[in-house]
Structures are given as C-alpha cells and as structure tokens.
Amino acid sequence: MALSLILRNTAKLQALPKASKCVMFTNNVRPFSQILTPLNKSPISASKSKINTVVIRSMSGDHSKLWPIEKAVSIALLGLVPATFLTPNIVLDNLLAVAVVAHFHWGLEACVIDYVRPIIFGPVIPKIVLGLLYVISAATLGGLLYYNHNCIGIGKTGRRFWEIKC
C-alpha cells in the first residue's frame, strides 16, 4: 500500500513543473436550443454557436512504474499459491499474505478511483472511500500475518480443508 503511493507519486516527489502534470483539451459544445432544432434551421448565429471550454485534469502520478510491479505480483501468485499449500512454512505463508493483500488492494483501488469519482460524488466521499480501502487492506494484512504467526498459518489451513471428507 505504501509502495503504491510512493510509486504513483514519484513525479510529485521529483518536483516536476506543474505544466507537465496537466492535460488540457478544448471541447466545442452546442447550446441546448440548437440541439433540439435541425442543423439547417439554427436560431443562433454562427458566431455564438460554438462555446469553447477548457478542462484541466491534474494527473495523480506516474502509473507506468507501478504497472510492471502489479503484473509481476500477479505472475508470482501463480507459483506462490501452490507452493504455499504443497510445502507450508512461515516464509511462504507471509509472502502469500503480502502478495494477496497487495494484489487485491491494487485491484480495488483501481475500481475506487474509476467509479467513485469526485465529479459524481463530490470531493469528500472519494477520499473517505479510498481511506476505508487503506484501512481494510491494512487490517486484512495484519490479520493474516497474525494468523500466520500465532495460529497454524495459511498453508496448513489449506491442507486441513483438503483433508475434510463428506
């Protein structure tokens, strides 16, 4: 979680000029009254028909550095999950706990950023939801590490589920 914050905010940490962090584009918008009338019978003169708007979007950071790490963790999980259940030990249990929580956190963080946008929910709710995601991810990681160190661990728990007969 802290790694994703550091990797996504490297541009801010390097103090790049603000102009490189913004994307500007213009959008030609037709007035509502012109949309309802046919194009050849526009009640508004041509000089007033185009309204130029400028939207400035601030980039949250450089995501190109985090993407390869996310993919590497996903590929590492393909070998780590079977290895944890075939040879359960504390090292593999802890690696699996960290990798699974990081993998789920990055996926859910992308969903929160994509779907809980400030343009729809306002400036406060997206920050609250993202903060809750960080709290839940940290609590999940803490719970899994506690389970690995004070109980039998993830690998042995998986083995016990396989031993259950109906």
The tens digit of pLDDT for each residue in 82-131 reads 999 999 999 999 999 999 999 999 999 999 999 999 999 999 999 999 99
For residue 53, the surrounding DSSP H or E stretch is strand 51-58
From 11-15, 57-61, 75-79, 98-102, the region with the lowest mean pLDDT: 57-61
pTM over 0.75: no
Q: What is the structure's pLDDT at 62?
A: 60
Residues 131 and 81 in one domain: yes
Residue 33 covered by a domain: yes
Residue 1 covered by a domain: no
- With a pLDDT cut of 90, the percent of the chain lying above it is 55
Residues 85 and 123 in one domain: yes
Of the chain, the end-to-end C-alpha distance in Å amounts to 40
Residues 41 and 88 in one domain: no
Residues 71 and 23 in one domain: no
CA nearest neighbour of 29 among 56, 47, 53: 53
Residues 73 and 28 in one domain: no
Cβ burial, residue 129 (10 Å; 0-12/13-18/19+): middle
Residues 71 and 150 in one domain: yes
CA distance 97 to 147: 10
- Domain of 98 in residue numbering reads as 66-163
Residues 49 and 128 in one domain: no
Indicate if the pLDDT at residue 150 is higher than 90. yes
CA distance 141 to 158: 18
Indicate if the pLDDT at residue 25 is higher than 50. no
Please state the separation of Cα 42 from the chain's center in Å: 45
Q: Phi and psi dihedrals of 64, rounded to 5?
A: -70, -20
CA distance 78 to 94: 16
Indicate if the pLDDT at residue 14 is higher than 90. no
Residue 128 covered by a domain: yes
